């Protein structure tokens, strides 16, 4: 999965799911997951599998039930089997439903391809979480992929938080610049003025910052770091 840049989010999702399942098979299910509250690896895997099934249900237009675990499967293998089965259920839904099929998304209704991107990024972040729990670095992912993850937060996830009343716009807006992907974004503030600060760093670190997986120190900040810290504390993502 080194530095791949497939334009097809489905290909990206499959590679990320496979990497998650491999790493899950070598990680203690009881290990804590930094950045995910009091979750263990078991809870992380069950969460991601359930999200895969939920997204598959949105695409198909009907609830998807969890696959039945084979009775003969040893307990030590059930967690990986269940995750892999949920991942396969999602891929099957994506294969059988055209990308332009209209279904429920975060914006009431949209193309099924919305979920291709959303699930790729969901898996990307949780693969990083699993790597933290296991004490290893997950397989490298391209800067373009991480930049797309930043873009989704700015264009989709944060506006949804505002729309649902889960967050308020930051008092002062700020900009982000992914120096290894040559992309720039702005998160607007309440004042209506130009952004007060610019945060510069690798696309991966900016994505992890927005998803609450790292703090601001270590990134280059031009302007008012306190304004950025305040904005980051305001639930930019779920």
* Chain segment 105-135, per-residue pLDDT in tens: 998 899 999 999 999 999 999 999 999 999 9
pLDDT, position 190: 87
pLDDT band at 151 (very low <50, low <70, confident <90, very high): very high
Q: What is the mean pLDDT of residues 189-200?
A: 80
pLDDT, position 75: 87
pLDDT, position 63: 93
pLDDT tens string 1-39: 333 344 589 999 999 999 999 999 999 999 999 999 999
Q: For the whole model, what pTM was predicted?
A: 0.94
What is the number of alpha carbons within 13 Å of residue 220 lying toward its C-beta?
Answer: 8
Same CATH fold assignment for domains 9-141 and 144-232: no
Which of 59-68, 70-79, 148-157, 189-198 shows the lowest mean pLDDT across its residues? Answer: 189-198
Q: What is the mean pLDDT of residues 199-222?
A: 97
9-141: CATH number: 1.20.120.450
Instruction: Delimit the domains of the chain by residue range.
Output: 9-141, 144-232
What's the rounded Cα separation, in Å, for the pair 100 and 114? 9
Instruction: Give the CATH architecture of domain 144-232.
Output: 2-Layer Sandwich (3.30)
pLDDT, position 194: 60
Q: What is the mean pLDDT of residues 46-51?
A: 98
Percent of the chain at pLDDT above 90? 84
What's the rounded Cα separation, in Å, for the pair 55 and 89? 10
What's the rounded Cα separation, in Å, for the pair 186 and 188? 6
pLDDT, position 5: 43
pLDDT, position 148: 96
Averaged pLDDT score across all residues of the chain:
93
Q: What angle do CA 132, 136, 139 make, to 5 degrees?
A: 100
Beta bridge partners, 185, equal 176
pLDDT, position 6: 44
Q: What is the mean pLDDT of residues 207-236?
A: 94
Is 103 within 8 Å of 109 (Cβ atoms)?
yes
pLDDT, position 71: 86
**Rg of the chain in Å (alpha carbons):** 18
On the question of pLDDT at 174 being above 70, the answer is yes
pLDDT, position 144: 94
Q: What is the mean pLDDT of residues 54-66?
A: 96
Measured in whole angstroms, how far is the alpha carbon of residue 44 from the centre of its chain? 13
């Amino acid at each position: 999965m080194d530095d791949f840049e497939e334009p097809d989010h489905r290909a990206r999702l499959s590679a990320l799911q496979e990497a998650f399942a491999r790493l899950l098979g070598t990680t203690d299910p009881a290990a804590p997951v930094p950045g995910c509250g009091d979750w263990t690896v078991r809870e992380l895997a069950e969460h991601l599998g359930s999200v895969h099934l939920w997204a598959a249900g949105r695409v198909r237009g009907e609830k998807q039930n969890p696959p039945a675990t084979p009775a003969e499967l040893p307990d030590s293998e059930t967690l990986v089997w269940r995750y892999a089965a949920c991942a396969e259920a999602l891929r099957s839904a994506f294969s059988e439903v055209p990308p332009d099929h209209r279904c429920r998304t975060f914006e009431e209704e949209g193309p099924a391809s919305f979920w291709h991107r959303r699930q790729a990024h969901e898996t990307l972040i949780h693969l990083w979480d699993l790597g933290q729990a296991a004490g290893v670095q997950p397989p490298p992912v391209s800067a373009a992929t991480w930049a797309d993850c930043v873009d989704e937060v700015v264009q989709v996830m944060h506006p949804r938080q505002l729309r649902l009343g889960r967050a308020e716009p930051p008092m002062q807006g700020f900009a982000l610049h992914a120096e290894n992907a040559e992309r720039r974004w702005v998160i607007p503030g309440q004042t209506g003025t130009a952004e007060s600060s610019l945060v510069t760093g690798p696309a991966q670190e900016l994505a992890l910052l927005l998803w609450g997986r790292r703090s601001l120190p270590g990134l280059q900040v031009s302007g008012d770091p306190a304004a950025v810290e305040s904005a980051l504390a305001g639930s930019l993502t779920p």
